[in-house]
Structure formats: C-alpha cells, structure tokens
C-alpha cells in the first residue's frame, strides 16, 4: 500500500495515529487467542495496529496471554455479553484508527491478509477474506441476503445440488466464485474489515436482537443501507479453526431462532411468518437429529427460547 495513503488523516475524527484496530471477542477461547495474536504482525505487514481482546468469560485467564503482546490490551466484560455486546464493549475506548477489523478468536491470519483487505476496502467499502479450514480446504463463507425461497432451497437441498439457481440458496456454493473478487451481501463473521469512519456512521452492533448469530448478517445489511459494498478478496486468506467458543444443541437452536429474528427485523409480518414457517419445517424434517429437535422446541416455544444463551429477546 502507498505510504502516503496509509498516512492520510481521516478528516472526520482527530488525527489517527494507527492504521488498524482489531477487535476480538473471546469466550472460553484462551488458547485460540494466543495463536491468533501470533499471526497478526505478518498479516498487517507495514500497517500499524492495536488489538483489543474482550473477555466474555471471567473464569478465563487471558491477562497472561495478552501481556505477551505489547500491541494488545485486554478488556474484561465481567460476564458473557454475547458477540455483538462484546464488540460494542471493545469499541468503547478504542483509539483513533483508519480501519476497524472485527475477527473471531479461532482464526490464524495469512501473511499480508489484513493489509490486503484494508487496501481493497479503502475508505468507502468493507472487505472479507477467503476462509479455509484447519486442513486448508475452502469454506463456503459467502452469503446472499436471506429470502423465503433461499431458505426453502437450503431446507430441502442443503449441500446437495450446489449448482442450483441462486434464488434457491443463501450460501454461495459455486467454488468458482471464490476464485475472483466479488461484491456480496454478507459473509460469515470470522473476519470483517470496515473503515473506522463507516463504523461510526453505522453505530453499535445490534446486541438487543442478537446475542450470538445473525449479528453479522444484520451489520452487513446496515452497511449496504449506507451504500457500502461488502467486497470479497480472494487473495486475502485466513484459516478458521472452527467452534472456538464451542458448539451444542442450544447454540444450534439459537442460530435458527436468530435467523427468524433477523428476518422479522427487516420484513413485514406476512413475509416473516412465511420465512419462520420454512425454518420450522427445516427443523421438523430433521428431528432424528438432537440439534434439530432443540431448534424446533425453541422456534415454537417462548419458554424454550428464554432458556437459550442470552435469554429472551
């Protein structure tokens, strides 16, 4: 990146002294945080940076891990405030920077990945990377805006028929797409780079609706409502270890419930009822799986929803 461009001052805030703020929300992810922080310097390249690690699990001892990295600081939330709530806490006392990087703790950043993403994002757009799993296999991380027909396609076909019409799926499964730059609706929330001036315009992440899951779908929609494009950058690669904060039937149920919450936030009552019906059907036809049974209970019972992580919303 051109050195003059890196040093350019954002006229809408006091002079930034840093290029990137990295916000990491950790919940029972101490070992993952240590590995992530080791990869930041090579990923940032010549950019200056500061990491804020928000600890959502008071029992985790992250102080020793973060202390080994002079460009990182630890923020104790005092309890599990969720992913969106943790991000908002991390942004409270953030130093002025040109870009903000939201990322999961269970990532390993490829060399130059952050520098490349900021280059593509510039001062107007957002950027997301290529994500591979622990074995280096491409993860289909790009998504279309949730729709009723897309939900129907995913319910009945899942990973089968990856070449089906785009209208019948939310996940972009055509692997050829991942070889080229693209503008997408959103991407799974492992890593998102946004100009800090845009972060201030968008405002806080919606922790009122979303304790965990669908917050990135909502945030990217809010970005797009401001005319911000979400740009996929194929040559910025990160490795996603996966399940850094654990997985369970309750978390799967919360994921399905929050898909419905997201749709209701942005659509009318009739369309939302149709979408919810498809999500219920998706779980109902898979009741041989314990996670689908848990999701079905939560989708139809307010008491079951209240027992999920984050409680009733």
| Each residue's pLDDT tens digit, 77-112 | 999 999 999 999 999 988 999 999 999 999 999 999
Question: Burial letters for 47-57: b for 16+ Cβ neighbours within 10 Å, e otherwise?
Answer: bebbbbbbbbb
Contact (Cβ atoms closer than 8 angstroms) between residue 47 and residue 8: no
Locate the DSSP E strands across 32-125.
Answer: 49-55, 72-76, 97-103, 107-109
Query: What is the tens place of the pLDDT at every residue in 168-188?
Result: 999 999 899 999 999 999 999
Instruction: For residue 271, name the pLDDT band (cuts at 50, 70, 90).
Output: very high
DSSP 149-175: HHHHHHHHHTTSSTTS-GGG-SB---G
Cα–Cα distance, 161 to 296 (Å, whole number): 25
- C-alpha atoms less than 13 angstroms from C-alpha of 140 in its C-beta half-sphere: 14
Residue 8 has pLDDT above 90, yes or no: no
Q: Coil, strand, or helix at residue 254?
A: helix
Bridge partners of 186? 143
How much is the pLDDT for 116?
98
């Amino acid at each position: 990146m051109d050195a003059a461009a890196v040093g350019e001052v954002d006229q809408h805030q006091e002079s930034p002294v840093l290029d990137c703020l990295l916000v990491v929300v950790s919940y029972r992810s101490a070992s993952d945080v240590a590995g992530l922080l080791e990869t930041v310097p090579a990923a940032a390249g010549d950019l200056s940076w500061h990491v804020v690690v928000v600890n959502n699990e008071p029992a985790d001892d992250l102080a020793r891990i973060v202390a080994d990295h002079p460009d990182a600081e630890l923020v104790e939330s005092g309890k599990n405030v969720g992913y969106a709530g943790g991000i908002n806490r991390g942004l409270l006392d953030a130093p002025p920077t040109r870009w903000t990087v939201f990322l999961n703790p269970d990532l390993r950043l490829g060399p130059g990945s952050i520098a490349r993403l900021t280059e593509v994002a510039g001062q107007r757009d957002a950027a997301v990377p290529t994500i591979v799993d622990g074995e280096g296999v491409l993860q289909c991380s790009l998504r279309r805006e949730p729709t009723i027909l897309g939900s129907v396609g995913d319910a009945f076909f899942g990973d089968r028929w990856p070449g089906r019409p785009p209208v019948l799926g939310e996940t972009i499964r055509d692997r050829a797409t991942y070889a080229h730059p693209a503008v997408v609706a959103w991407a799974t929330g492992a890593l998102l780079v946004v100009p800090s001036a845009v972060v201030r315009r968008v405002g806080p992440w919606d922790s009122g609706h979303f304790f965990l899951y669908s917050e990135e779908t909502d945030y990217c929609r809010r970005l797009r409502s401001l005319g911000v494009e979400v740009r996929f950058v194929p040559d910025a690669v990160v490795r996603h270890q996966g399940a850094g904060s654990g997985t369970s039937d309750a978390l799967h149920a919360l994921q399905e419930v929050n898909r419905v919450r997201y749709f209701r936030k942005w659509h009318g009552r009739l369309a939302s009822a149709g979408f919810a019906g498809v999500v219920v059907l998706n779980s109902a036809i898979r009741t041989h799986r314990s996670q689908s049974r848990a999701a079905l209970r939560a989708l139809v019972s307010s008491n079951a929803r209240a027992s999920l992580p984050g409680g009733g919303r």
